[in-house]
A and B are shown apart, each in its own frame.
Chain A
């Protein structure tokens, strides 16, 4: 019995490109879960979703320039478009004249439409568009994996170095100003880190489902712990595990990896959420024995 389980786990790993897929999903699952904690506590879910979509024209440019190939070149275009979009949104919302969600929505749809126009100039674009939107782990090269790891290391390092400051600008801007921190620079840097994370995850999960990786593990972790650093660690653990579980589901059920990961993550969230509700209800109930008192309304017994 045990052998069979081991076989199930090891079988896919005999192919090198599938092994790379597993590593990629574990990396992007964990990375997105870490930066996602900031997305969740800052209430930036819509921004995260929008930013994921705004990288499309950059990806499309790289794709078109390379004559229609999906490779490491996509990172460059995606990163460029993501950072440009993040900066445009940050600049549009600097003074309070335009509400942030409006600015985000405008940049989001404009960039996404631009991306579709660019991609549609290529022949047979629909298959590649589907890969960009929903991810595909089969095409991940050794080089891609290096770039992903590099991006992940960069994001985690910056978060580690500026952890105190990122918490302060997320929790209470007024303190950031009284401490005379470079608030605007920190805010833009955090947006750029989100953009880098999205681009790193692009190949494995795709644009359309990116939002789940940013929010689901962090939201699950928030249900379970009350301090930011525990939330980040737990979220990373959940994100990485779901990446790995999603990989096997994707392999055995032959479904897109992005969708498999997202469904794993939302299932974990649902289980924790419902379990907590049940526990709360049970705690509210009086202990056994004390309920024996006669009900005030005898009719309720009959019902």
Chain B
């Protein structure tokens, strides 16, 4: 019966809704010495919303995520999570890195990785307590990872690998989740697994920002789309963003868009395979 008590340990519904979960205000970010990878980026996301971040390679999708997380410094502008400055706030965002940024041969099991997300709850010096083990067990159950809990992470399928890092982000007890191209390099089975996971997250009231190259997937399954190319080019519902006019402003010649009876057709030159 333990698994039914997930909400006791991880309360995803602390904040009143609707309100702004993530606010990015005129942010410029990038490594010092380089020109800014993103400039004057402004947008905000309502709690519980699902936002797809789209844009060509090198548009700054990853940099945007890394600036929010604190991996890349931002020199101008302001980012707040639930109304508090992201640099000083106690609130954390969950971050699911790109597949290629993880060392899959690292000697850790699925359970170990998810437990890492609870480091703040565990505190300095101490080992994980029974409540932490319970919370991790619940999350593994929730994301259908219980059967592989003791496997080394390199032994997992593509869909399982992404779910491990989603579980780790949830273990942080955060309700804002950034996912950097989870659909890149997975087969259709894994893609469906990830989509099912996203539905579970949305039901739990979690705000999701997801970077992707898959425009039709983004238009189909997300509340809003943010089109970036160093700046926020367009932000709105898929209907508003998926127009030839808007898309061509970011993709220039890399994509051709046709509109016919309200349906949008695209022919893209890139598929994000270079990541």
Q: Is the CB of B125 within 8 A of A161?
A: yes
CB distance B119 to A228 under 8 Å? no
Please report whether the interface of chain B is mostly helix, strand, loop or mixed according to DSSP: loop
Which of the candidate stretches A168-176, A238-246, A252-260 sits at the interface with the other chain? A168-176
- List the A side residues contacting B71 at CB < 8 Å: 173-174, 177
Given the known inter-chain contacts A95-B32, A171-B116, A227-B107, please indicate yes or no for A178 contacting B93, CB distance below 8 A: yes
Which residue in A41, A95, A165 is a CB contact (below 8 Å) of B33? A95
B101 touches A174 (CB 8 A): yes
Number of A residues near B (Cβ < 8 Å) is 28
Residues of A within 8 A of B94 (CB): 178
A231: interface (CB < 8 Å): yes
Interface string of A141-166 (1 = CB under 8 A from B): 00000000000000000000110110
Assembled-state Cα–Cα distance A129/B136 (Å): 54
- B20 interfacial by beta-carbon distance below 8 Å: no
**A283 in contact (CB, < 8 A):** no
B176 → A minimal CB distance (Å): 10
**Residue A109, interface by CB 8 Å:** no
B103 touches A174 (CB 8 A): no
Q: How many Å from the CB of A93 to the closest CB on chain B?
A: 13
- Taking the closest CB of chain B, its distance from the CB of A27, in whole angstroms, is 25
Does A53 touch B at the CB level, under 8 Å?
no
Specify which chain B residues have a CB less than 8 angstroms from the CB of A97 in the assembled complex. 33
Chain A residues whose C-beta falls within 8 Å of the C-beta of B33 in the assembled complex: 95, 97
Neighbouring A residues of B48 by C-beta, 8 Å? none
Q: Which chain B residue shows the least CB distance to A37?
A: B107
- Determine the chain B residues whose CB is within 8 A of the CB of A167 once the complex forms: 108, 116
Q: Is the CB of B95 within 8 A of A178?
A: yes
Cβ contacts B188-200/A at 8 Å (1 or 0 each): 0000000000000
Q: Tell me the bound Cα distance from A138 to B109 in angstroms.
A: 44
Bound: A174/B92 CA distance, A: 12
> What 1/0 mask marks residues of chain B from 95 to 112 whose CB sits below 8 Å from any chain A CB?
101000111001111001
Residues on A with beta carbons closer than 8 Å to the beta carbon of B112: 227-228
The answer to whether B172 and A179 touch across the interface, beta carbons within 8 angstroms, is yes
Per the bound structure, the CA–CA distance linking A162 and B126 in Å amounts to: 9
**CB-CB under 8 A for A180 and B116, given A161-B125, A164-B122:** no
Contact pattern, B 22-42, Cβ under 8 Å of A = 1, otherwise 0: 000000000111000000000
Interchain nearest-CB distance for B165 vs A (Å): 9
Residues of B close to A177: CB separation below 8 A: 69-71
Query: In A227-284, which residues have CB < 8 Å from any B CB?
Result: 227-228, 230-231
A-B contacts, 17 listed (Cβ < 8 Å):
A41-B107, A97-B33, A164-B116, A165-B119, A171-B106, A171-B116, A172-B102, A174-B66, A175-B117, A175-B168, A178-B69, A178-B70, A178-B94, A179-B119, A227-B108, A227-B152, A228-B108
